[in-house]
Amino acid sequence: MQNSITERLQSTLADLKAKQQYRQLPNLKHDGRHVISNSKALLNIASNDYLGLGGDTEMQAEFLTQVGQLSTTHTPKMSATSSRLLTGNDIQLEALEEELQNWYQSAIEKQSSTNSKSVLVLNSGYHANLGNLPALTTLPVKTLILADKLVHASIIDGMRLSQSKLVTYRRYRHNDYEHLAKFIEQADETVERIIIVTESIFSMDGDRADLPQLVQIKSKDARIELYVDEAHAVGVLGDTGLGLAEETHTLADIDYLVGTFGKAFASMGAYIMCDEVVKQWLINAMRPLIFSTALPPINHAWTRFILAKMPTLTDQRAHLAQLSTTLSQAIDPRHRVSPTLQEIYYQSPIVPYILGDNASTLAKAQKLQAAGFYALPIRPPTVPANTARIRLVMNAKLTNEDCARLIQQL
């Protein structure tokens, strides 16, 4: 039987290669703004290191100096060794949650709201989205989850795990709020709870959700709660880097806000901002939290180090926005997500270059790499069929000259 399974796997892998959808792990070395691939230094325009902090050796040296000045009894441990509910709940982790909560609370109060929020730190964005929705829908309440068609795979998996006799989910067309409104209107009278789920910046198209409009939709029906994943917006948008919700003054209106540290923060981990009672419920019901070893305290110490600097990185965010706008406006309409899309304002550092078929996309990626850019092809099933693309990603360490050279290659 084992040989039969292996042969089937080999055959399926061969089919993926024939369709040019085969994936393999790259052999890379990192050197500041560059990655070394096949002994060649390529400018990295493929990662989610939006502020360029991942390769900032000066910042890393500053952090290590701070750690080195601590006494051995206060040096953050290199492993948590167990889950938070056992012995993994370290002072670094508790301090990080408090500082995150203060960061958000300060912005909420500036937006003339008295709403109080709590923060729960988790191991990753995938852990968060995989566990939040199943835990939130455990109560015997008839619930309808309505999610944007282009939400991340982790959210889709979380919705699938939530399904039961009392919990169903549907997906509205991407950023189509008339379609969303129809689903709400069609909801059975017995539905007691509706959870709208969206990303704020979408990871493959790079466009934004209309959070004010979603808040308005929520205000018309007391059953509605709003779940927003800000993974690609935290650190990038907002006066202090809190994301699109800060920029659009909707922080206080979002019931469940997820953010991550693995992108602009150049760290690891995630968090959810929610009501204190909800936080306590998640601690008691969220399986990825209960059954996962916590991240190392040294990791949380680094995240705290970055968090302390995040509100001050306004120049980096402004430069990132300028680069992203320049690149977006240079893309030929034929290669945009929508040829009619008027990209005259800054959307995000993610700028998709649509080519359609896999062969053309692979060829273009190879040409960009030959020209000195580490650009990667994104193919189905990661994106819809016939929308294969190069996912161009700007970061604050790139120069205007870098951007101009890239545009020449496009």
Q: Select from 148, 131, 349, 139 the least CA-distant residue to 258.
A: 131
Kindly tell me if the per-residue pLDDT of 361 is higher than 70: yes
Local structure of residue 87 (DSSP, 8 states): I
To the nearest whole percent, how much of the chain has pLDDT over 90? 85
Query: In this structure, which topology does domain 21-51+313-409 adopt according to CATH?
Result: Aspartate Aminotransferase, domain 1 (3.90.1150)
Residues 236-262 have pLDDT tens digits of: 999 999 999 999 999 999 999 999 999
Residues 31-73 have pLDDT tens digits of: 889 999 888 999 999 999 999 999 999 999 999 999 988 777 7
Q: How many CA atoms lie within 13 A of 64 on its CB side?
A: 6
| CA 94-95-96 angle, 5° bins | 90
Segment 3-24 shows an average pLDDT of 90
Residues 157-206 have pLDDT tens digits of: 999 999 999 999 999 999 999 999 999 999 999 999 999 999 999 999 99
Helix (H) or strand (E) holding 273: strand 270-274
pLDDT at 120: 98
Any idea where the domains of the chain sit in the sequence?
A: 21-51+313-409, 84-311
Do 21-51+313-409 and 84-311 come out as alike in CATH topology? no
Cα 395 versus chain centre, distance:
15
At the second CATH level, the architecture of 84-311 is 3-Layer(aba) Sandwich (3.40)
Spatial separation of the C-alpha atoms in residues 135 and 106, rounded to whole Å = 28
